[in-house]
Amino acid sequence: MTKDPKFNNEDKKPKKESDLIKFFKKRSFIYLLCAVMFVVFFVPEMMQPSELDQKITEILDSDDENHAWSILKSYKGTDDKGSTLGEIIMIQIENAYPSEKILKHHDTSIEISALDAQEEQGSGFYQVHFSFKTYDNAKDYLWYVNIQTDEIIPLNDGARKMMNIINNYD
């Protein structure tokens, strides 16, 4: 003979389910549907690379070049708080074109290169060049990045402006 879980053997009275269990059982399909919708529509969006990473047209060759670029784009200023340099560059580009989605425009290109600058600056230095071109404008930013000490030195006015924004306006 098998035990029926709905009956208590001692009292021969049916067990009552708690109100909370009844509540969840009635609505379990809704919760499952919401979870599936979240996974289908929102998770892929969260896992996609940033617009900057999607638009990069030149892929860096060596690990040291990639490291120099990652140091540069993740730089948060002298206080190490606030937005990163990569985010500030994207914000400045988007602010220059407020009525357009300029990064999605087919004429927009972003090129990144990192050249070994050991002869000019010493061991561990790379010259990182970030170039942004649209149908009506072109901007270039140049930095020296020391991959050993994470030191960043701006080389042109555009790069100095970005460094000042990061360092002073967090």
Model confidence pLDDT, tens digit, residues 2-16: 555 555 555 566 666
**Residue 142 has what pLDDT?**
92
Helix (H, G, I), strand (E, B) or coil at 144: strand
**Residue 57 has what pLDDT?**
45
- 8 Å CB contact between 75 and 83: no
Model confidence pLDDT, tens digit, residues 58-81: 566 677 888 888 888 888 888 878
Per-domain residue ranges of the chain: 16-48, 50-168
Average pLDDT over residues 31-36: 86
**Separation of alpha carbons 133 and 40, rounded Å:** 34
**Residue 170 has what pLDDT?**
54
Average pLDDT over the chain, rounded to whole? 78
Model confidence pLDDT, tens digit, residues 111-161: 888 888 877 767 788 888 888 888 888 889 999 998 888 888 899 998 899
Secondary-structure percent of the chain, ordered helix, strand, coil, rounded to 5: 45, 20, 35
Residue 126, C-beta contacts closer than 8 angstroms, at least 6 positions apart: 64, 65, 68, 114, 115, 116, 117, 144, 145, 147
pLDDT of 28 > 80? The answer is: yes
